[in-house]
């Protein structure tokens, strides 16, 4: 029997429990599916429900006993870094069930720089995640971003990501096969409606893979900021950016966040263009907690979690833990 999707679950729940009871439960789940026009709330089958307590457990997977909250892996080639990080978290089978539909969201923002300039996610990091998902039994693994500089096809090729994804057995999603769906965000504080990439909403597993880099408005592009590439109207996010990014992260709830710090962009982000602004760290940060991942990554740039408005908003919304002293952090050095 194929697994029931979140949308099918919501329809069944609504019919079985009646409008009043279902409305309360569906509000916690993040929405309903409607064929009657207007915004159509949709929540990924694997997304965590938004809890009422101040600090719910992020992600939808069950953590193995003793698994760390966050892993940092250093001094290795990209694929080795990825495998080391995911193994430390409990293995990819913790996140990907047999037959799962997986969507991976890297940062492929521009079509005019290769990965060396650290404006786009390292292609071997993305390729390794595709491999691991398929090894865990995924039915298909799709990779997507919505670039603002050049076409998606050009950006996919220039970044090197398309080559690595296809070599690993995944597929790149590109226009005109991309569908965006108007969706309500019922638990949001400020971003109450957006047009989302439909495949990400339907995915069983969503993996967020940003590259760590500077950004003129947000200060840094990390896990929460990278989710902007899953909506059509990104300009709407820039007003009240911190709160709206937290709203976005609270709705999408990535199952896994992997921050690429193989090479980081330390100035003139998000597009870069000067190799003098690039710092090679040969590192990777991985967590099920997007707030924790972003909080740790802020330190790579000499910043505190409180210096990033979206991290503060995410912590206040109960999306994760920004106080690193409260986390079980595992550091691995593959270089000896």
* Mean pLDDT, residues 160-169: 97
pLDDT-wise least confident of 171-175, 187-191, 266-270, 319-323? 171-175
Cβ atoms of residues 169 and 134 within 8 Å: yes
Residue 150's pLDDT is 85
Residue 59's pLDDT is 46
What are the tens digits of pLDDT across the range 40-56?
445 555 454 443 333 33
Domains of the chain: 1-33 (no CATH), 60-333 (3.40.50)
* Mean pLDDT, residues 148-158: 90
Residue 54's pLDDT is 37
Percent of the chain with pLDDT over 70: 81
* Mean pLDDT, residues 132-143: 98
Q: How confident is the model at residue 27 (pLDDT cuts 50, 70, 90)?
A: very low
* Mean pLDDT, residues 105-132: 96
Res 306 pLDDT > 90: yes
Res 134 pLDDT > 60: yes
Q: How confident is the model at residue 315 (pLDDT cuts 50, 70, 90)?
A: very high
* Mean pLDDT, residues 60-69: 79
Taking the model in full, what pTM does it have? 0.85
Residue 145's pLDDT is 92
Q: How confident is the model at residue 65 (pLDDT cuts 50, 70, 90)?
A: confident
Residue 310's pLDDT is 96
- State how far the alpha carbon of 245 is from the alpha carbons of 69, 107, 115, 238, 319, in Å: 22, 16, 25, 9, 11
* Mean pLDDT, residues 133-159: 93
Q: How confident is the model at residue 61 (pLDDT cuts 50, 70, 90)?
A: low
Sign of the alpha-carbon dihedral angle for 248, 250, 256, 257: positive
pLDDT-wise least confident of 24-33, 189-198, 229-238, 247-256? 24-33
Query: What pairing do the DSSP bridges indicate for beta strands 211-215 and 70-74?
Result: unpaired
pLDDT-wise least confident of 158-162, 171-175, 193-197, 294-298? 171-175
Instruction: State the SS3 of the chain.
Output: CCCCCHHHHHHHHHHHHCHHHHHHHHHHHCCCCCCCCCCCCCCCCCCCCCCCCCCCCCCCCCCCCCCCCEEEEECCCHHHHHHHHHHHHCCHHHCCCCCCEEEEEECCCECCCCHHHCCCCCHHHHHHHHHHHHHCCCCEEEECCCCCECCHHHHHHHHCHHHHHHHHCCEECCCCCCCEEEEECCCCCCCCEEEEEHHHHHCCEEEEECEEEEECCCEEECHHHHHHHHECCHHHHCCCHHHHHHHHHHHHCCCEEEEEEEEEECCCCCCCCCHHHEEEEEEEEEECCHHHHHHHHHHHHCCCHHHCHHHHHHHHCCCCCCCHHHCCEEEEECCC
Res 102 pLDDT > 80: yes
Res 13 pLDDT > 70: no
């Amino acid at each position: 029997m194929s697994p029931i999707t979140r949308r099918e679950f919501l329809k069944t729940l609504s019919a079985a429990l009646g409008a009043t009871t279902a409305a309360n439960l569906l509000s916690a789940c993040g929405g309903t599916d409607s064929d009657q026009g207007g915004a159509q709330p949709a929540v990924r089958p694997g997304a965590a429900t938004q809890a009422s307590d101040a600090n719910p457990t992020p992600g939808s997977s069950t953590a193995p006993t003793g698994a760390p909250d966050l892993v940092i892996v250093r001094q290795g080639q990209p694929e080795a870094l990825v495998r080391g990080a995911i193994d430390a978290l409990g293995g990819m089978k913790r996140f990907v069930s047999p037959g799962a539909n997986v969507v991976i969201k890297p940062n492929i923002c521009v079509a005019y720089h290769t990965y060396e300039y650290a404006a786009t996610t390292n292609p071997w990091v993305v390729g390794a995640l595709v491999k691991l998902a398929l090894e865990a039994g995924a039915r298909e693994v799709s990779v997507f971003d919505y670039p603002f500089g050049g076409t998606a096809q050009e950006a996919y090729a220039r970044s090197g990501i398309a080559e690595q994804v296809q070599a690993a057995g995944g597929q790149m999603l590109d226009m005109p096969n991309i569908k965006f769906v108007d969706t309500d965000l019922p638990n949001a504080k400020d971003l109450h409606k957006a047009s989302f990439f439909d495949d990400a909403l339907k995915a069983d597993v969503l993996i967020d893979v940003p590259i760590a880099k500077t950004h003129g408005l947000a200060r840094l592009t990390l896990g929460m900021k990278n989710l902007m590439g899953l909506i059509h109207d990104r300009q709407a996010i820039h007003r009240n950016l911190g709160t709206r990014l937290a709203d976005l992260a609270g709705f999408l709830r990535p199952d896994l966040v992997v921050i690429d710090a193989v090479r980081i962009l330390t100035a003139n982000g998000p597009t870069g263009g000067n190799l003098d602004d690039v710092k090679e760290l040969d590192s990777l940060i991985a967590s099920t907690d997007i707030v924790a991942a972003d909080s740790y990554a802020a330190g790579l740039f000499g910043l505190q979690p409180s210096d990033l408005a979206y991290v503060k908003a995410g912590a206040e919304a109960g999306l994760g833990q920004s106080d690193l002293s409260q986390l079980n952090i595992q550091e691995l050095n593959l270089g000896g």
